[in-house]
Amino acid sequence: SAGANIVLTPHLLAPVTDGNKPNELDIRIAGTYNLGFCAIANQAVTRAFLRWWQGKLERDCVVDFSRGVFVDQSWIDLVPTLFENVQILRHPGYNVAYWNLAQRAFTRTPEGEIRVNNQGLVFFHFSGLNPSNPHAFSKHQNRFTLDTMDKLVAQLALDYCNTVRINGIEKYRSVPYGYGYFQNGSAIPEAMRRHFRENTAFRNKLKESPFSLTPSNANSNVVTTS
């Protein structure tokens, strides 16, 4: 990766050959690269990349599979051809997760180092893992459970669960999303959130204080079509 402007890690480094989820089509829909990790150099081209990405995320960081959009991630499929000196990092120890475990073998050296396909484990991505009920390993897949997966990986997951429990996950998971409510405490309807995102005139009208609206006033401003 030395000298690269942008470094991306792909979800997969080998074909998926079983009938379980996620399969290769699921990965295509979600995006070729996983944006739990992205490394960028301080270069003019990377600042241009960040401006471009920011423009996409301002209104299109949503889950809308009919339009080929999956939050921030699917936009990155374009990056290797839009920007110069983008490197795809194929090291199996980066971004290890439920989507690539089937293609990666784990061992531990006598010194205690965990290795993945004979290379050092750098970081593990515990996407979809519920620390309070970890048996399913990830809610986004049906390929493994803690009982059927590699015991070394299962222990990594259990150690992670224990760490986040000690650090107060039950307290913090109960904190409500701060931008999901009007100032009076009423939940913002999904229809209004979508209309605000898609309608420039509506956004401009409310830009001074959009959270001061009441649900009744908000609903009266939302234009729907049948």
pLDDT tier for residue 226 given thresholds of 50, 70 and 90:
very low
Query: Which tokens sit at 113?
Result: 């180092």
pLDDT tier for residue 215 given thresholds of 50, 70 and 90:
low
Contact 222, 191 (CB under 8 A): yes
- 186: helix, strand or coil: coil
Residue 128, classified by CB atoms within 10 Å of its CB into exposed (0-12), middle (13-18) or buried (19+), is middle
CB atoms within 10 A of CB 111: 5
Residue 187 predicted with pLDDT over 60: yes
| Residue owning tokens 């995320």 | 57
DSSP E strands in the chain: the ranges are 6-10, 33-40, 63-64, 69-70, 86-88, 106-108, 114-116, 119-120
User: 96-136, pLDDT tens digit by residue?
Assistant: 999 999 999 999 999 999 999 999 999 999 999 999 999 99
> How high is the pLDDT of residue 224?
43
Q: From CA 56, how far away is CA 24, in angstroms rounded? A: 25
> How high is the pLDDT of residue 218?
53
pTM for the complete prediction? 0.84
User: 63-84, pLDDT tens digit by residue?
Assistant: 888 888 888 889 999 999 999 9
> How high is the pLDDT of residue 66?
82
Contact 97, 127 (CB under 8 A): yes
User: 11-21, pLDDT tens digit by residue?
Assistant: 999 999 999 99
pLDDT tier for residue 210 given thresholds of 50, 70 and 90:
confident
Mean of per-residue pLDDT scores for the chain:
90
Residue 152 predicted with pLDDT over 90: yes
Average pLDDT score over residue span 6-30: 95
Q: How far is CA 119 from CA 39, 149, 214, in A?
A: 20, 20, 56
Average pLDDT score over residue span 31-55: 95
> How high is the pLDDT of residue 214?
60
